[in-house]
Amino acid sequence: MNIQVLLTVITIIIIVSAVAIIFSMQAHEQTFSKIITVGPIWESDVWSCTSNSDFLVYGALRGLENTQISISIPDLGTQSLYSLDDGKMQTFTIGGQADQTVIITGTGVVSGWLTLQTMSGANATCTQTPVQ
């Protein structure tokens, strides 16, 4: 089996395990139970994720060609800047408060998955937006 395929499978297992752990740790009243997953192809350089309730965004991304991603929240600035190793799957997690928008911007060629997890009944989206 190709090592990249194996690493991808391991990354997906880790994400699923993290989601399961979060489910088991939440109180019964406000559980994280709405999940949106998008990917694996980025048709634009920018993803915007938001929810009207507190949320988490998990990323499992692969840089294919001199790739960097930045993660920012408007009014708070860039929170993280990552250089992705060519061909290797890498992961991150970031949290947002209700009505904040997490913006993930990639340069170079990026593929992978973003998963937004928020409270049951919340309105949430993860969308690709054109670069302005």
Phi, psi of 66 (to 5 degrees): 45, 60
In the predicted structure, residue 58 carries a pLDDT above the cut 60: yes
Tell which CATH classification among 2.60.120.340, 3.40.50.300, 3.30.420.40, 2.60.120.10 matches the domain 3-129: 2.60.120.340
- Single-letter code of the amino acid located at 31: T
Greater model confidence, 38 or 121? 121
CA distances from 95 to 48, 81, 114, 130 (A): 13, 16, 13, 23
Within the chain, residue ranges assigned H as helices are 3-25
- Give the pLDDT of residue 28: 47
Whole-number average pLDDT of the chain: 79
CB neighbours of residue 51 within 10 Å: 26
Instruction: Identify the pLDDT of residue 5.
Output: 76
Q: Tell me, yes or no, if the pTM score tops 0.85.
A: no
Q: Give residue 55's pLDDT band: very low, low, confident or very high (50, 70, 90).
A: very high
